[in-house]
Structure 1
């Protein structure tokens, strides 16, 4: 049984309005700019992505990034992205905030060009077993199934997930800074999330905080909103 449910995605940015104006059209989501400088991206009125202004600039490679399916690179380049690296099957780009994401160019008629247009990819320090282990942890938390796939692992049947999948890939480098992209979940029992292996970084109520900031077993931050 799931201990938590996927809620939404959060992206930190030096200029949330500018980044929301970039990602909204790329992901076919409606852009909603807030008076306080933050923003959100919506589909049919439902918030799928929060974009929050933060004081700290981006300094390290993103540990969680988006893979986007597209008919070509033209749309993202015209929106303000720049090419970082060319790989045989995908292109690594940076958005206007300098945050990496990957574009997979698909042929016309490919069903992956329909919504959902993207997946979330989490870097995990270590080998494929470490990546799969974290996938299993998140799968247990969200009531989903972790599947090995050619050195990677991904989650299937994640309730409420508006994108294609959550993918976990092994990387050699260690986590050194707060993740600039993270997920939010809802739960009826934060204590059960902690008992499963999460660590509380900031408790709900601290300085008026309306949610609990946690880290998964590999130190990746996520936020839990208590419901019920």
Structure 2
């Protein structure tokens, strides 16, 4: 049985309201601007993405980024994105806050732009596969090993097809500006499997526990109210 269920995605931003306008267009979601400066992106009544305003600027390449499908690059570029790199099958863009994301242009009409998440893992393909296996144990889903990367597919509740884990040579040097939230009944089970709490629920009023996975990636674990 999975140790947790997928809840949503969180993106840090210098201006959350402005970035919500950008990503709502890219992902085809409804932007809701909150009085505290944060924002959420929703499909119907479900929150798929939180955009949280932070004071620290982006300083390094994101360790977790979104891949999206689109009929062209035009809408994203017109909304304020810029080209970072061009590859044969996709184009790397930067959003108005500098967050990298990849656009896969499709010939057919795109009904759901949210394609997948891609997670950088320091080390080789074997290490990327180990992290994929860890997250599959946490969230459920099916681990697929490809030449050069691994992925977790069929994650219950996820609004995308998979999380791809790819090896990179560089170490993690800063807090991830994109992370996922999960819901669990048992924080102790996550700790037993190798997660580590960084900030406890209730600290300064927060309603969740900030944790890191065995590779040092931050995520937030929500538990039922007592």
- With the length of structure 1 as denominator, give the TM-score of the two structures: 0.96
**Contact 1:116 1:162 survives alignment (8 Å):** no
**Contact 1:116 1:164 survives alignment (8 Å):** no
Q: Is 1:207 the equivalent of 2:204?
A: yes
Question: 1:47 corresponds to which residue?
Answer: 47
- Decide which of 189, 193, 198 is 1:196's aligned counterpart: 193
How far residue 157 of structure 1 moved from its aligned partner, in angstroms, is: 1.7
Q: Is 1:167 the equivalent of 2:169?
A: no
**1:126-152 Cα distance to aligned partner (Å, 9 max, x none):** 111111100000000112221102211
Q: How do residues 1-228 of structure 1 correspond to structure 2 at under 5 angstroms?
A: 1-108=1-108, 113-115=110-112, 117-227=114-224
State the secondary structure of the residue aligned to 1:129. helix
State the secondary structure of the residue aligned to 2:76. helix
C-alpha distance in structure 2 between counterparts of 1:121 and 1:173, whole Å: 16
State the secondary structure of the residue aligned to 1:2. coil
**Contact 1:5 1:142 survives alignment (8 Å):** yes
How far residue 116 of structure 1 moved from its aligned partner, in angstroms, is: 5.3
C-alpha distance in structure 2 between counterparts of 1:136 and 1:223, whole Å: 19
Question: Quick check: 142-151 or 21-30, which moved more?
Answer: 142-151
- With the length of structure 2 as denominator, give the TM-score of the two structures: 0.97
State the secondary structure of the residue aligned to 2:188. helix
C-alpha distance in structure 2 between counterparts of 1:182 and 1:172, whole Å: 20
The alignment yields a C-alpha RMSD, in angstroms, of 1.0
C-alpha distance in structure 1 between counterparts of 2:53 and 2:18, whole Å: 10
Moved over 4 A (4+): none
Q: Which runs of 5+ in 2 are unaligned?
A: none
C-alpha distance in structure 2 between counterparts of 1:72 and 1:29, whole Å: 18
**1:114-135 Cα distance to aligned partner (Å, 9 max, x none):** 3253211100001111111000
C-alpha distance in structure 1 between counterparts of 2:113 and 2:195, whole Å: 29
Give the count of matched residue pairs: 225
